[in-house]
Amino acid sequence: MKISRLNSIEQYVISKETVSIDELCEVFGVSKNTIRRDLNDLEARGHIAKVYGGVTTVGSPGAVPMPVRTNLNSADKNQIGMLAAAEVQDGDTIFLDSGSTTVCLLRYLSGRKRVTVITHSLGTMSEASKYDNLSLISLGGIYSSATDSFTGLSTFEMLSGMTINKAFMAATGVSLESGMTNTTFLEAEIKRGVVQRASSIYLMADSSKLDKSAVISFCQLQDLTAFITDRRPPEKYLHFFSENNIRVRYDR
């Protein structure tokens, strides 16, 4: 019971970035003393920190472990996955980036034929293996639990021989100035290599990623084929995408 509550509180704080103690008491229906004890336990995990009157996230969203990120904005991610799946045609060879949003595309490909999925994401490999209509190619490498993906020299070497029709990419942050950004050097290098090899590039990112910037830029927004998100982006993004002939897909 307590572990479940702790995980829920952690996910809630990460999704909101900064939350007051009063709000946490109201949302989770517990006393201030209980919330304070829970926050002490959660602070030891290293992803949130107590501040005056509340709690805030520590570091960037990309540093949050995959099991936590997977449960953030899950309804929005599923909607993005459905919209992205509509871009996949029979016979396509697609790359699925590591991330908690890109994997959602797979469950909407049941009607496609002869689709090959290339990935370095362990979660994507596991999900793709459930579908008989998909061919799966793993890039391999050294596993990183933080990103739930494989990286390393062997990953780059295998990627160098791949032909990719459509790349479905994730990003820690998205901005007009920095483009698509990531927190991890090796991950960013793989993303950059995929972008160079793909005929079409699709960014799958929910609206919480907009106007955020991480340390390493791996793709400029003008290089996109389409931006797939959960809701209508701000006007400055719509204007930019229109000027650069980039399609935008969203649900609301």
Reported as a single tens digit per residue, the pLDDT across 51-103 is: 777 888 775 544 555 555 555 557 788 999 999 999 999 999 999 999 889 99
Q: What would the two tokens of residue 63 be?
A: 């540093």
- 2 has a pLDDT exceeding 70: yes
Range 133-137 average pLDDT: 96
pLDDT at residue 135, rounded to an integer: 97
Judged by average pLDDT, the poorest of 9-23, 117-131, 142-156 is 9-23
pLDDT at residue 216, rounded to an integer: 87
Residues composing the chain = 252
As beta bridge partners, residue 20 has: 54
| Stated pTM of the model | 0.75
Burial class of 249 by CB neighbour count within 10 A (0 to 12, 13 to 18, 19+): middle
pLDDT at residue 73, rounded to an integer: 57
Cβ-based neighbours of 209, under 8 Å, separated by 6 or more: 61, 171, 172, 173, 174
- 185 has a pLDDT exceeding 90: no
Q: How much of the chain, in percent, has pLDDT values that exceed 70?
A: 93
Helices marked H in the chain — which ranges?
Answer: 2-16, 21-28, 32-43, 66-70, 74-85, 122-128, 153-159, 185-197, 235-243
